[in-house]
A and B are shown apart, each in its own frame.
Chain A
Amino acid sequence: MKNYLFDENMKMADLILIKPSLILLLPRFNIPLGFGDKSVKELCRSHGISTDFFLIICNIYSFDNYVPSPDKVIATDMSMLDCYLEASHRYYLEQRLPHIANHISRMTCEMHGPAGEILRRFFEEYNSEVVAHFKYEEQNVFPHLKKLLANGKSGDYRIALYSPSHTNIEDKLDDLTQILFKYMPEDVKTYEAIGALFDILQLSEDLKKHSLIEEKVLIPYVEYLERNQER
């Protein structure tokens, strides 16, 4: 039956048994493997991470209907939020996207006619949209958050200017999966296409959680800091 939300007394190893993809989050918190039977609380303490923050992220990734309440967000130590989001960006940009690009180029070089070029170009365009979106956040939103976290004062930027919507980016990734499994020309090697598809589905799931964190944690928290600043 359904699991309860994770809590700080559970063993980290048990969390991962329940939701294996949580291992992808560990590098974003600088937590190495080999944590034995440590509980979430012990593990977070030994790495200087806010346990509540860590649990919010793990729970959002693990439970589809879970969204932390605004009160919970405000009451949580968010000092690592910017580092976490930046580390996620690095992971997508430096690990996942190049990996998928490799899959696609191996897959498309076998294809006859213009189809291969069409797909490659579609992915490249998607890739550059993601880069642009991340760049905006890194140049505007994250520095704003850092200033507010450091001294409660910010520059002129306001979070209201920011829309976390990755909708167009997400739609394109969804479209790519549809094209790959429904409309792929038959001359593509199945295992290459499956490999690409598997990685794309995984990235897509990860990115949807990432936008959820921006929408339900980042925005309400920065709004709260902005309100405090104006007082």
Chain B
Amino acid sequence: MKQKVLIAEPSQIIIEGLQSIVHDSNCLEVVSVIDDISMLEERVLAHRPDIIIINPGLLPYSSQMPATIELPEGVFSVALVYQYFEQAYLRNFDAVIDIRDSKQSILATLANIGNGTESKKNTASEVSELTKRERDILVLVAKGLMSKEIAEQLNISIHTVISHRKNITRKTGIKSVAGLAVYAMLNNLVGEQQTSEDGISHGE
């Protein structure tokens, strides 16, 4: 999946140059371009970029320094600078591109910043199907067995059971034992009789 890039920059020349550089990368795509900072918030909400490349000169100045920008979690900001800014100010961004940087160095900067988000994206888009093993464990959880008992019954370590249970909760979005029992029954993984005495009436 390509990283989505939003460019906030007043100069058409720079925009086109940057688009052409980004275009040559396999893992980036420009989803939106703005030349006016007032549109930033709306575009960020609409396009959900992963990376925002912004010319700090677009930001309103206060006490001789451009303002900093607040972005939703998981969105990285890259300052595109053609003039001198204090290091202290530039530290407000996740990375900095200088207009004199080479194409390779620009792409490397953008690629590095993307790496950190990779793991997050995977978990979000991961399929929520339970594996066969997870279903087996879910059934035992729904029957009211503790992790230790499940480990003994399946002859696996308790750590494995705990890790399966974490995955079950992450995939189904259901945390409580009673909730998991309901899930198991609604999905016909267990009959009602099997759980009615244990899972449902005794939450962990």
Contact = CB atoms under 8 A, between A and B. Distances in A.
Contact of B173 (A122, A129, A172, A182): A182
A122 B175 contact: no
A228 interface: no
A121 B174 contact: no
Given A118-B186, A171-B179, A178 B174 contact: yes
A69 interface: no
Given A121-B200, A125-B203, A178-B172, A114 B187 contact: no
B203 A168 contact: yes
A173 to B, nearest CB: 9
A114 to B, nearest CB: 4
A88 B201 CA distance: 27
A118 B173 contact: no
Nearest to B41: A1
Nearest to A121: B200
B93 interface: no
B192 interface: yes
A123 B183 CA distance: 14
A183 interface: yes
Nearest to A183: B186
A214 to B, nearest CB: 21
Contacts of B172: 178, 182-183
B106 to A, nearest CB: 31
Nearest to B192: A114
Contacts of A60: none
Contacts of B203: 125, 129, 168, 172
Contacts of A183: 172, 183, 186-187
Interface string B160-177: 000000000000111110
Contacts of A114: 185, 192
Given A118-B192, A183-B186, A175 B200 contact: no
B2 to A, nearest CB: 28
B175 A175 contact: yes
Contacts of A115: 185-186
A176 interface: yes
B150 interface: no
A115 B191 CA distance: 11
Contacts of B174: 175, 178-179
A174 interface: yes
A119 interface: yes
30 contacts: A1-B41, A115-B185, A115-B186, A118-B182, A118-B186, A118-B192, A118-B200, A121-B200, A122-B178, A122-B182, A125-B203, A126-B178, A129-B203, A171-B175, A171-B176, A172-B178, A174-B175, A175-B174, A175-B176, A175-B179, A175-B180, A176-B179, A178-B172, A178-B179, A179-B174, A179-B179, A179-B183, A179-B186, A182-B173, A183-B186
Shortest beta-carbon contacts, A-B, top 3: A175-B179, A178-B173, A171-B175
Interface of A: 1, 114-115, 117-119, 121-122, 125-126, 129, 168, 171-172, 174-176, 178-179, 182-185
Interface of B: 41, 172-176, 178-180, 182-183, 185-187, 192, 200-201, 203
Given A125-B200, A174-B173, A183-B183, 20 more contacts: A115-B186, A117-B192, A118-B182, A118-B185, A118-B192, A119-B182, A125-B178, A126-B178, A168-B176, A171-B175, A171-B176, A172-B176, A172-B179, A175-B176, A178-B179, A179-B182, A183-B172, A183-B187, A184-B186, A185-B186
